[in-house]
Chains A and B, each alone.
Chain A
């Protein structure tokens, strides 16, 4: 019984590590030039929260905020030095031109909402 409970606890810890930290999230691809990715801001998450975009091409992310809490009132791209205020149910477009490959996080002001722009 003791062994079983401890083993269960250990498996649970491994599951937490895998599910939240190691799992490869599905990417939403906006490879086409001029395409716009819609991102819904609601319930503590961006949907989708992993966007793949091509290098050296302009991409537009359109944020639609559904969450009335103050946490969701802004989105920040720290690596691009740009941020935007999000009004409820009002689309806000942010156009980026990444010229270096890599992962660029975007978050709410408190970093509770988290997303990644993956440039390849």
Chain B
């Protein structure tokens, strides 16, 4: 449809105070309406009021004018809103309230002013009903503000993570300045127990920083010169100086808040159905009111005017478009907020609904099931090459490689203080290996297929290589000058929670598939150790999306979990893509759900939140639809022929006021839904 950008202030501190003012104003209006309404009801009930007859005309009219004054104060905003929306050819909740209350007051003035013209049975004034309805709607709105504030808890908690001030170091002097005045390039100090104010790079000092806000990991992370720090995280001990790199809306925290806020507004498909109904609802209710009046006029008993007034006013008052309009967004807001607090950023509203339907989860092995930091475990050589020579030549060649095992080999070389030799004619063949000239030697490093392509005989170490495969290690063959020189084995540590997380996903009815570029033997060994039976091995990076497509062709609803650049096409193609938060920007942008923490349990948590949220949305929509359908029919008098049942306008208005509150309260129950496993996500 197009691109969009938004320049908006992040919700300011002013908002809570203005909301509090509005809340108090609504409560005041409620009291100003309910007290006289109760007095009128009591006066009628205990017969303190004289009967409505000719003698009551003047007092009755005076009472009507008094009620008008009270209505102007307590409910004037409904009438203004109704007029303005009518002029704009729109019908809103204000329209219904203004019409219902206005019609009730007018009818009552007619009755008290011209009692002899109204049949005795129809001589009933609705002044108390008018005051009651307005009071209850004001009360409902006030309570809704309170309840909605709780649903914003997640965003509020995120916003409160950032401190208000920062300690800047200028010309050797330190001073506290407002956070908004910090600029990129400023040097800031963080003392023990303080929050990091903005994103930056440590320049001096060492400390431990609690990054649970970002990663969900409870263990503090050690920080020293050159390390990144993120605004909103907590410095636990030690003091350090850092240079601000990102401030204001560009910080990680601001972007997380923006993502959560955006996601809270995106509705799953089921919610858009309710929107279509909402847009025609109020004019539809007006038509229903006219039809109700016509039916009672044509078929109702006498006094017809009384029955027409009672039923028509009740139909207008009981219909509540708010409950319908609120049903989906309020649950989405709570569900997305709850997910954010558990380290999950849901970027796509439809993902909430689709997660329910997933039957297959594809987990990329490296970086998802494993820590993503492989280490060298064994080195075996063929004469005349030594371990040191093999490692040195391999590490020198792997300098130019982006493969995960390259950093493992370089780390091992560094640990042995081996110098790296210059490399010429470096080549990387994806999914196979690397080649080049190291010093005077032609060196090849890669898998069995790479050696076969270059006619290198691997028999001397083939058995050893297979043994390593059985142990879930990856053996890299090294050939120097056209002959096998040895193998270097690498292994990536499995995440501790991988077996229990996989079991939890399987217990949710999901078929778990492991995707890897490893050879089949190694892949099966790893998969078996964590309880996965379905494996797609020897998958080249560019083939990951095809693996997803193949599963979808079998009519499976597929979720994909990955973190690298190579995963982005597969994440975008999957029905729901989950990106590990520490992954690349491309993967994160391609995914529907970003997992901020490192625990695999968060995937199951996401699905559990999705189930709880969709259940809540359906409860709300069902309640709102049923309430409005039954309410309107009962108010119109559908049960009158069989049961003699009609709705009093006070009850109709009260039910309307409480219906949207019920939706909000039901959505708030979602905050307490159990969506995590025993081990924390």
Contacts and interface: CB of A to CB of B under 8 A. Distances in A.
Contacts of A19: 89
Interface string A54-79: 00000000000000111000101111
Interface in B125-149: 141, 144-145, 148
Contacts of A9: 290-291, 293-294, 297
Interface in B244-285: 261-262, 265-267, 272, 274-275, 278-280, 282-283
B4 A68 contact: no
Nearest to A5: B297
Contacts, number: 162
Contacts of A97: 2-4
Contact of A2 (B9, B92, B261, B298): B298
A95 B14 CA distance: 25
A69 to B, nearest CB: 7
Contacts of B274: 111
Contact of A83 (B21, B141, B266): B266
Contacts of B2: 80, 96-100
B377 to A, nearest CB: 46
Nearest to A62: B7
Interface string A40-59: 00111101010000000000
A114 B267 contact: no
Contact of B91 (A20, A42, A70, A86): A20
Nearest to A44: B92
Contacts of B22: 68-69
Contacts of B80: 43
B81 interface: yes
B88 A16 contact: no
Contact of B90 (A16, A44, A85, A99): A44
Nearest to B282: A20
Interface in A67-120: 68-70, 74, 76-88, 90, 92-100, 104, 107, 109-112, 114
B4 A82 contact: yes
Nearest to A23: B89
B98 to A, nearest CB: 11
A76 B14 contact: no
Contacts of B77: 43
B104 interface: no
Contacts of B290: 9, 12-13, 16
B93 interface: yes
Nearest to B286: A16
A95 B2 CA distance: 11
A69 B274 CA distance: 21
B99 to A, nearest CB: 11
Contact of B4 (A16, A20, A81): A81
A25 interface: yes
Interface in B72-94: 77, 80-81, 84-85, 88-94
A79 to B, nearest CB: 4
Contacts of B298: 2, 6
Identify which of B2, B5, B88, B90 gathers the most chain A CB atoms within 10 Å of its CB: B2
A73 to B, nearest CB: 8
A25 B89 contact: yes
Contact of B283 (A20, A79, A86, A90): A20
Nearest to B11: A85
A95 B5 contact: yes
A88 B15 contact: yes
A20 B6 contact: no
Identify which of A12, A19, A87, A109 gathers the most chain B CB atoms within 10 Å of its CB: A109
Contact of A85 (B5, B8, B145, B279): B8
A29 to B, nearest CB: 17
B322 interface: yes
A11 to B, nearest CB: 10
Interface string B304-331: 0000000000000000011001100100
A35 interface: no
A94 B4 contact: yes
Contacts of B85: 43-45
B592 to A, nearest CB: 12
Identify which of A6, A21, A43, A100 gathers the most chain B CB atoms within 10 Å of its CB: A43
B92 A45 contact: yes
Contacts of A111: 274-275, 278-279, 325
A109 B14 CA distance: 21
Interface string A1-42: 010011001001100110111010100000000000000001
A21 B283 contact: yes
A12 B329 CA distance: 34
Given A83-B266, A90-B12, 7 more contacts: A20-B90, A43-B84, A47-B88, A109-B265, A111-B275, A112-B325, A114-B90
Interface of B: 1-12, 14-15, 18-19, 21-22, 77, 80-81, 84-85, 88-94, 141, 144-145, 148, 261-262, 265-267, 272, 274-275, 278-280, 282-283, 286-287, 290-291, 293-294, 297-298, 321-322, 325-326, 329, 333
24 contacts: A16-B287, A20-B286, A21-B283, A25-B89, A43-B77, A43-B81, A45-B84, A76-B265, A78-B266, A81-B262, A82-B4, A83-B265, A84-B6, A87-B9, A90-B9, A92-B6, A94-B8, A95-B4, A95-B7, A97-B2, A98-B2, A99-B1, A111-B325, A114-B279
Interface of A: 2, 5-6, 9, 12-13, 16-17, 19-21, 23, 25, 42-45, 47, 49, 68-70, 74, 76-88, 90, 92-100, 104, 107, 109-112, 114
User: What 10 A-B pairs have minimum CB-CB distances, sorted nearest first?
Assistant: A110-B325, A83-B265, A44-B92, A43-B81, A82-B4, A20-B283, A68-B22, A98-B2, A92-B8, A80-B4
